[in-house]
């Protein structure tokens, strides 16, 4: 074998080695980029969207920590939104001074001690462990009926702590 053939064979081996390493690496990076990533919800703190929905029956909310997300969505912008959606609003917020007591002491509703629903992990630090939550199915029915618009229906729970003037809400809005 001549020296030129030897160099050609060595160059071919280098090419195959480099290509053999590069192709799986590029393929792996492409697969990672295309693989669905878990949707990470960020805690929102602005009370205005909540007040637009909840003010008629809760009053003005402040110091809110909440999430609002499509429970059926993947969280990416690469899909066409479905005409049928279910949006979950879940969080905790302060009511005006005496607001929780005014709601809980309403003689038309029976409030009993209750535990909050399972919270998404980002909201857990904002739910006080010392809160004494009270719940009323009658208030839920009132708020869900009053809170539903013409194109969406709502269902959910509202819990109140009178000592801290807090409301914990976990509401699902559905549209078809």
- Measured in degrees and rounded to the nearest 5, phi and psi for residue 56 equal -60, -30
Longest dimension (CA), the chain: 103
Nearest-10 crossing angle of helices 48-58, 137-147: 120
Q: Tell me what pLDDT residue 90 has.
A: 95
> Is pLDDT larger for residue 7 or for residue 111?
111
Determine contact, residues 133/168, Cβ cutoff 8 Å: yes
The tokens describing 40, both together, are: 């990470």
Name the least confident of 6-10, 99-103, 134-138, 164-168: 6-10
Q: Tell me what pLDDT residue 163 has.
A: 96
CA dihedral 30, 34, 39, 42 (to 10 degrees): 50
Q: 0.75 exceeded by the pTM?
A: no
Work out the pLDDT band at 76, boundaries 50, 70, 90: low
CA–CA dist 89, 75 (Å, integer): 15
Work out the pLDDT band at 117, boundaries 50, 70, 90: confident
Segments making up each domain of the chain, as ranges: 1-35, 48-175
Name the 3-class secondary structure at 140: helix
If you average pLDDT over every residue of the chain, what do you get? 82
Task: Express each pLDDT in 96-116 by its tens digit.
Answer: 999 999 999 999 899 999 999
Reply yes or no on whether the pLDDT at 74 is more than 70: no
> Is pLDDT larger for residue 132 or for residue 148?
132
Q: Using a CB cutoff of 8 Å and minimum separation of 24, what contacts does 146-152 make?
A: 146/56, 146/57, 147/53, 147/54, 147/56, 147/57, 147/171, 148/173, 151/175
Task: Express each pLDDT in 27-58 by its tens digit.
Answer: 665 655 555 444 457 899 999 999 998 999 99
């Amino acid at each position: 074998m001549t020296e030129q053939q030897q160099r050609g064979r060595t160059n071919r081996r280098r090419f195959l080695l480099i290509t053999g390493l590069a192709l799986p690496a590029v393929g792996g990076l492409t697969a990672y980029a295309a693989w669905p990533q878990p949707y990470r919800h960020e805690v929102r703190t602005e009370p205005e969207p909540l007040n637009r929905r909840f003010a008629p029956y809760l009053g003005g909310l402040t110091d809110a920590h909440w999430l609002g997300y499509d429970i059926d969505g993947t969280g990416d912008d690469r899909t066409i939104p479905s005409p049928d959606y279910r949006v979950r609003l879940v969080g905790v917020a302060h009511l005006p001074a005496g607001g929780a007591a005014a709601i809980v002491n309403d003689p038309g509703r029976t409030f009993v001690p209750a535990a909050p629903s399972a919270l998404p992990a980002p909201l857990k630090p904002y739910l006080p462990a010392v809160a004494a939550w009270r719940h009323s199915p009658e208030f839920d029915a009132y708020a869900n009926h009053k809170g539903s618009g013409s194109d969406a229906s709502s269902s959910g729970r509202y819990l109140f702590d009178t000592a801290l003037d807090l409301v914990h809400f976990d509401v699902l809005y559905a549209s078809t």
